[in-house]
Amino acid sequence: MNKTAFFSTIIFTLLLAITTFGQNSKTDFSGAWELDMKKSSLHEKSILTSMTMTVKQTNEKIVIKRKTKRDSDSSSSATRTIKFNSKKKEDEAYKLDGSETTTELNNGQAEGTLKLKAQFETNEKLILNKNINLNYGINAINSTTKETWKLSDDGKILEVISEVRTNVNTLVSKMIFTRK
């Protein structure tokens, strides 16, 4: 084999490895995020006044800790907080291999399941699915949330499209977060 063919083979192999590596890297959403209320379009029933998120991501999972503030003057009957087996709200932990995690919920008044599933639709777009099924007395409460996460090219803006489906309606919000 002559030198030109040898070096051409080496260069081709290196370019192929670099291209393949670039195609397999997933977006890392890790960081502290703050909701920009002015740039966001929340659904008409939202009583949210602020939100921050702390996101920690590894190759295996993404963990999201959300802190929210809501309008305390709202008389919306659609908002009901049910606390389960914990003094503090649990972080949402999603496996990134596409498998589902299930948590049993029970607070003495309501019981049910919480199912979480995450999967990259593309290397840049993450889909988070949350399914809550509760039996609250004689009432069944079912809620499915699908969030589509996409990070800006410079990594400073996180766009989250949230679609919440309940027994009664579907609520869609576009939330814009800035990196803190």
φ, ψ at 10 (rounded to 5°): -60, -45
CATH of domain 27-72+84-179: 2.40.128.20
**Residue 67 CA to chain centroid, in angstroms?**
14
Write down the pLDDT at residue 139: 86
Distance CA 160, CA 180 (A): 16
Write down the pLDDT at residue 5: 58
Write down the pLDDT at residue 3: 64
DSSP state of 108: S
Write down the pLDDT at residue 171: 93
pLDDT digits (tens, 9 = 90+) for 40-71: 998 888 888 999 999 999 999 999 999 999 88
Write down the pLDDT at residue 24: 60
Domain spans of the chain, in order of start: 27-72+84-179
Write down the pLDDT at residue 75: 44
Residues of the chain with pLDDT under 50: 16-23, 75-88
Write down the pLDDT at residue 142: 93
User: Do the strands 48-57 and 61-70 form a parallel or antiparallel pair, or are they unpaired?
Assistant: antiparallel
pTM for the model:
0.78
Distance CA 174, CA 161 (A): 5
